[in-house]
Structure 1
């Protein structure tokens, strides 16, 4: 599932279209459009220019403009990538992938929304109130939240730590893999209650989250190197990259969770 670092990578892909005019929009599967028909979506965006894309949590927001380098204005394209979505930049002559659902055509190439399972999709906001409405239930972006607010939002939820971190209304952007990585780095057990965390543990958790996200955002994905917990998720003999203890896998909050019983004791 695309998480905050992946969506930041998609933002950089979309950035290639900044200040370029949409020549055409080809909708190959209207099921990914939310609340708008193919014809209306195409008419609203043809001859508009894409402005600088933005990201909040797992959402990618692309304002449009009336001309190159003009101030960003409405409508906005809002994309969510669900379980299997991504953005691809392709030359015009690249073969259409079977899961390319919407193609934005520019003189310099094509921006393609590709998604196998179609669990979420693309919205078009014609008013800023629509943008606010789509993002209203999201918490602060995990990459930008400050330590004090991070601690306050976590401890007021009164639940287990991992589900709290993954709750997009508490904190926007973290998913299953990034949460496991952060908890392992902070040496905190995923089943801990948020209300039991000390101020020192909250500070450590925030620092490790920021450090991990900073590295992952640069890569445009959560790295799977040998020093990362993520790099050992799929090994048959999973060992902690820090202490070599056999890793444990259990379900926490309904999600498959990987953790080290030595580094993350109960």
Structure 2
């Protein structure tokens, strides 16, 4: 599932491919990815508009034009690509924005769990983003402590709750907690301040390393790089990793390193 680093990569794709260019056509290949907007309205509102500087909040990508704003959510399998007219369209390319200078922005999504919104104002953008918490990237420690301390539920579930922090998903949360030496099933309200500070510090390190790669990198020195091994071992202590379900999602952790 695309998480904060992936969507930051999509923001860069949109910035380099689209910023300052005019939308000359809107090719909706599958209306099943449209949310709250019809094909006709999307074309009417976007054709002739010039794309502005995009921004990201959590897992959402906000693409303003000199008219309405396109808001993207990538769900489990979505991605954004820059292409030219010569590049063949793939089976799961659901929406193509045709731009001047022979650029194409392609929204590809196999499962179509989320999709594309259109907002006519900043207020409408805020309504689409709803009750998202602050973006996890660069969040000050004091704000992190205020939002996480005392929360009910497992700490991993709290980290993935987009109303608490925006941008963290399954892989990032496991990686952060492994680095902080905190088990994903620990109740957040039972963590002391030192543990919460470790989690915040680990979050910053993980995001700063992951964002430039536009993904959660599967490095062998990271938990992420070992979690799918047949018999995964902890990159830190060499002991066996455990896998279980936390809040309906697969969690991987080291029982020797994380308590």
**TM-score, scaled relative to structure 2:** 0.97
Q: Are 1:91 and 2:84 an aligned pair?
A: yes
Partner of 1:5: 5
The total of aligned residue pairs comes to 257
Question: What does residue range 76-225 of structure 1 map to in structure 2 within 5 Å?
Answer: 76-108=69-101, 109-225=103-219
Deviations 1:104-159 (A, max 9, x none): 11123100000001011000001221111111211010113211111111124222
Q: Whole-Å Cα distance in 2 between the matches of residues 144 and 45 of structure 1? A: 33
Partner of 2:33: 32
Q: Whole-Å Cα distance in 1 between the matches of residues 56 and 241 of structure 2? A: 33
- Aligned-partner SS, 1:34: coil
CA RMSD in angstroms comes to 0.9
Q: Whole-Å Cα distance in 2 between the matches of residues 261 and 215 of structure 1? A: 25
Unaligned runs of 5+ in 2: none
Partner of 1:61: 62
Unaligned runs of 5+ in 1: 66-73
Q: Whole-Å Cα distance in 2 between the matches of residues 11 and 127 of structure 1? A: 20
Offset of 1:31 from its aligned partner? 1.1
Q: Are 1:230 and 2:230 an aligned pair?
A: no
- Aligned-partner SS, 2:252: strand
Q: Are 1:52 and 2:53 an aligned pair?
A: yes
- Aligned-partner SS, 1:49: coil
Deviations 1:154-211 (A, max 9, x none): 1242221011110111111000011000000111111111111111111111011011
- Aligned-partner SS, 2:97: strand
Q: Contact (CA 8 Å) 2:133, 2:163: kept in 1 or not? A: yes
**TM-score, scaled relative to structure 1:** 0.95
Q: Whole-Å Cα distance in 2 between the matches of residues 49 and 157 of structure 1? A: 43
Q: Whole-Å Cα distance in 2 between the matches of residues 128 and 8 of structure 1? A: 21
Partner of 2:22: 21
Q: Whole-Å Cα distance in 2 between the matches of residues 35 and 254 of structure 1? A: 28
Q: Which runs of 4+ in 1 moved over 4 A?
A: none
